[in-house]
Amino acid sequence: MLKSRFNFQRVYYIKTNIALQNASNLDAAKLLYENGLFGLLISAIASTMVIFGLSDTEASSPQVVWWIGLNTMLFVRLIDMILWKVKSSLLESSGLFGIQRYATGCIATAMFWSVYVVVFYPQFNTIELISVIIIITTLASSSPSLLAANRFTAISFSIVLLVPMSVMGVIAEQAHRQLLGTLGLAFTVVVVFSCIRSSRFTLDAIYQRNRNQMFVSEMEAEKNHVAQANQELEVATKELSELNIDLEEVVKKRTYEIYQLSNLDPLTQFDNRKAFTTNLEVLIEQSKAKESPLALLFIDLNGFKKINDTMGHNVGDSVLIQVTERISAFTENNRAGRWNGDEFLVALPHSDQDTAMSIAQAIATSIAQPIHVHGSELHLSASIGIAIAPAHSSSAAELIQLADLTMCEQKKSGNKQPRLFSSDLKEKITASQRILEGLQHAIESKQFYLCYQPILTAKDKVPFAFEALLRWNFNGKFIGPDVFIPLAEKSGFIREIGAWVLNRACMDASHWQFNQQAAVSVNVSVIQLMDDGFIRLLDNCLRSSGLAPERLHLEVTESTFVENKVKIRQQLEQIQARNIDVSIDDFGTGYSSLSQLQSLPVNYVKIDKSFVDNIQGKGEAIIRATLFIAGELNCKTIAEGVETKEQSIALSAMGVDYLQGYYFAKPMKNEDLIAWQNPISNTIF
């Protein structure tokens, strides 16, 4: 009897899998054919426009033949769609054959387009080329959505469309076509990955849908069987009961799996963003009803990115799991969440400020303990911001934002103690937000302007260059660069602002009639320098202004070189290849100064004001050492922050090449340079 039951279950399992696969194939075929009409219309319209609508001349015979062939094939596919809908779509076993039929027609369509591109590519003018590229890429871009029901069809359709056109571009003689070809190959890779992801999602959805339907059908069948077998033997009743229990367990398991996917972070098993925010809203309402405070901790790990980047994601995941365990020791179920990669949230009901600070400090201390992973001892610290409900906010989203901003301020301050949100911090954040909002419109509102400070030769006191310094009049209030530049860098506005400064400085310098040899020196942030489009921006500014490259100098701070050294070096080499000089600003105050001078192409070293101010003390030794190093490496030197005659004389005597500071001139607007230049006073020299 047991053997008979085993054979029955085995046969049942095989039949079930076959039925499930057939049903999934049929659904996939239906989805392909339902989406197919749109693709046929696009191909027909696009082919007609290409042959008869783009060129000023009459279409050639081969082009017309191609058009007739393509549209004939499209018509055949249309007939196939009609036949499929009328007959084949009703047969459960016809799914696989339907997929193969549709794939054949779809790939044949792609091959028609590829033949057209390969045959007529050399004859395309610019408009035809762009139009064909748009059509081909549009058709290919539709494959992740329209062909997601069959991975092979989606990928093959994209490759057959894009690769021949891209290869024709790569082997073309024109540089722009080669670039388009290269971009086409890159786009092919993107589309293929999109097809894989979209197909995986669609096929999983189809499979799960049919599987669920099969489960439901089985459950209904079993219920009916139980009703009919009410009077059968006790053994049969027991077996049916056990089967029902098994099915219920499957449903429970699937329900729990769905809950996990929807609400839990897969790595840490903490609530994800959505689930935590929802739970926090409930906790806040409970807190208000009980008139009891609720504290929210926003935790960010310091040093995790370095571990993740240098030791790999497997080690990083292990570290996060251990951190999760340490945080869990201070919280309860559904009261901890993972907000982002290394950011966590903890809700503490019935916790006032003192309690929250104590728990936050305990969590920080726990996280700071050594973490042992794969034989390595790793160390982290945590920055923690705290906000209290309802004192600070009764909105879950706003409370999270306040705790996040508090954490950011605590991290910036360098203070290791957790920080509590306060009205002072709120005012600071509000002021920063106002400045950020103002930065978005400062250029179009014409609130930015440039001032220029002369850089003179130490020997003759002749203007050698003028440093461009950005100023901001924000609705009648002067905002210092030390305030708005860090905010612009953090928000990303620095790219747009830096582009404006560079363009404005080049324009001004190109119109300096009072001194047509002086250069203009422009500060460049690391964000600008790391931007792939910076060199193109540089060329555009020089081209539009007409300024000679030799009259443009770029200043980069020494701390810039801590970033991607390979990328920075490549950028600086491209800059110098255009005869644009580069200065290191604030030399000696940054990171690994000597090694940077040895490995990076620079022309000038700017001696920081702090050393000039201390020239009567230890500053003199540092200045002399800098002069020696710069001389050995063929770099000129510029001393900034010169404020007295004595400093000017001493620096000149030491051998500094150029001087800059309030002793000679304060930064002045462009229109004031002429008045300063013409009567250059000899009294200060």
Q: Which domain CATH number covers 306? A: 3.30.70.270
Query: Quick check: bond before 122 cis, omega within 30?
Result: no
User: Which residues share a beta bridge with 582?
Assistant: 554
Q: Give the contacts of 108 (CB within 8 A, at least 6 positions apart).
A: 73
241 and 173 housed in the same domain: no
**φ, ψ at 211 (rounded to 5°):** -65, -40
How far CA 244 is from CA of 409, 526, 683, in Å, comes to: 58, 66, 103
Please report whether residue 429 resides in a domain: no
654 and 550 housed in the same domain: yes
Q: What is the pLDDT of residue 81?
A: 84
Sign for the CA dihedral angle at 615, 620, 625, 628 comes to positive
Please report whether residue 189 resides in a domain: yes
Residue 21 CA to residue 289 CA, distance in Å, equals 54
51 and 69 housed in the same domain: yes
Cβ(20)–Cβ(218) below 8 Å:
no
239 and 301 housed in the same domain: no
Residue 169 CA to residue 163 CA, distance in Å, equals 10
Residues of the chain with pLDDT under 70: 1-16, 54-57, 59, 88-93, 230, 246-247, 250-261, 334, 558-564, 588-597, 679-685
User: Which residues share a beta bridge with 347?
Assistant: 296
Q: Could you identify the residue written with the tokens 């197909």?
A: 199
Q: What is the pLDDT of residue 562?
A: 55
Q: Give the contacts of 305 (CB within 8 A, at least 6 positions apart).
A: 342
Please report whether residue 301 resides in a domain: yes
300 and 358 housed in the same domain: yes
Which of 276, 259, 425, 416 has the alpha carbon at shortest distance from 346? Answer: 276
250 and 280 housed in the same domain: no
Sign for the CA dihedral angle at 451, 457, 458, 459 comes to negative
Q: What is the pLDDT of residue 682?
A: 44
Residue 573 CA to residue 620 CA, distance in Å, equals 32
Q: What is the pLDDT of residue 92?
A: 67
Q: Give the contacts of 271 (CB within 8 A, at least 6 positions apart).
A: 263, 264, 265, 279, 334, 336, 337, 338
CA atoms within a 13 Å half-sphere pointing along the CA-CB vector of 495: 12
Please report whether residue 363 resides in a domain: yes
How far CA 404 is from CA of 204, 407, 429, in Å, comes to: 37, 5, 11
236 and 177 housed in the same domain: no
118 and 239 housed in the same domain: no
List, as one string, the DSSP characters of 512-523: -SS-SS-EEEEE
Q: In what order do the strands lie in the sheet with 336-340?
A: 336-340, 343-349, 294-302, 381-389, 419-420
Coil, helix or strand at residue 136: helix
Q: Give the contacts of 4 (CB within 8 A, at least 6 positions apart).
A: none
Coil, helix or strand at residue 639: strand
Q: What is the pLDDT of residue 306?
A: 84
How far CA 129 is from CA of 44, 50, 69, 186, in Å, comes to: 18, 10, 21, 18
List, as one string, the DSSP characters of 281-344: HHHHHHHHHHT--EEEEEEEEESHHHHHHHH-HHHHHHHHHHHHHHHHTT--TTSEEEEETTEE
User: Which residues share a beta bridge with 381?
Assistant: 302
Please report whether residue 476 resides in a domain: no
Cβ(27)–Cβ(209) below 8 Å:
yes
- The secondary structure element, H or E, covering residue 420 is strand 419-420
Please report whether residue 307 resides in a domain: yes
CA atoms within a 13 Å half-sphere pointing along the CA-CB vector of 115: 14
The β-bridge relationship of strands 581-587 and 552-557 is: parallel
Q: What is the pLDDT of residue 356?
A: 93
Q: What is the pLDDT of residue 46?
A: 82
Count of beta carbons in the 10 Å neighbourhood of residue 133: 21
Count of beta carbons in the 10 Å neighbourhood of residue 311: 16
- Number of domains composing the chain: 4
Cβ(147)–Cβ(35) below 8 Å:
yes
Rg of the Cα trace of the chain?
35
Could you list the residue range(s) of the whole structural domain that residue 282 is in?
A: 273-421
Q: What letter does residue 57 receive in the DSSP assignment?
A: S
Which of 586, 584, 606 has the alpha carbon at shortest distance from 597? Answer: 584
Coil, helix or strand at residue 149: coil
330 and 289 housed in the same domain: yes
Q: Which residues of 331-370 are buried (b: 16+ CB within 10 A; e: fewer)?
A: beebbbbbbeebbbbbbbbebeeeebbebbeebbeebeee
Q: Tell how far CA 511 is from the center of its chain.
A: 40
Please report whether residue 461 resides in a domain: yes
388 and 511 housed in the same domain: no
Q: What letter does residue 49 receive in the DSSP assignment?
A: I
Q: What is the pLDDT of residue 258?
A: 62
Residue 564 CA to residue 526 CA, distance in Å, equals 10
401 and 508 housed in the same domain: no
Q: What is the pLDDT of residue 84?
A: 82
Which of 349, 360, 371 has the alpha carbon at shortest distance from 298? Answer: 360
585 and 632 housed in the same domain: yes
Please give the angle made by the CA atoms of 558, 564 and 568, to the nearest 5 degrees. Answer: 65
CA atoms within a 13 Å half-sphere pointing along the CA-CB vector of 675: 6
Please report whether residue 170 resides in a domain: yes
Please give the angle made by the CA atoms of 376, 378 and 382, to the nearest 5 degrees. Answer: 165
Domain stop point among 145, 178, 213? 213
- For 531-583, what is each residue's pLDDT tens digit? 899 999 999 999 999 999 999 999 987 666 655 678 888 999 999 999 999 99
Cβ(297)–Cβ(348) below 8 Å:
yes
- The secondary structure element, H or E, covering residue 353 is helix 353-367
Query: Quick check: bond before 390 cis, omega within 30?
Result: yes
Residue 17 CA to residue 519 CA, distance in Å, equals 78
Q: What is the pLDDT of residue 451?
A: 96
**φ, ψ at 636 (rounded to 5°):** -80, 160
Q: What is the pLDDT of residue 128?
A: 79
The reported pTM is 0.49
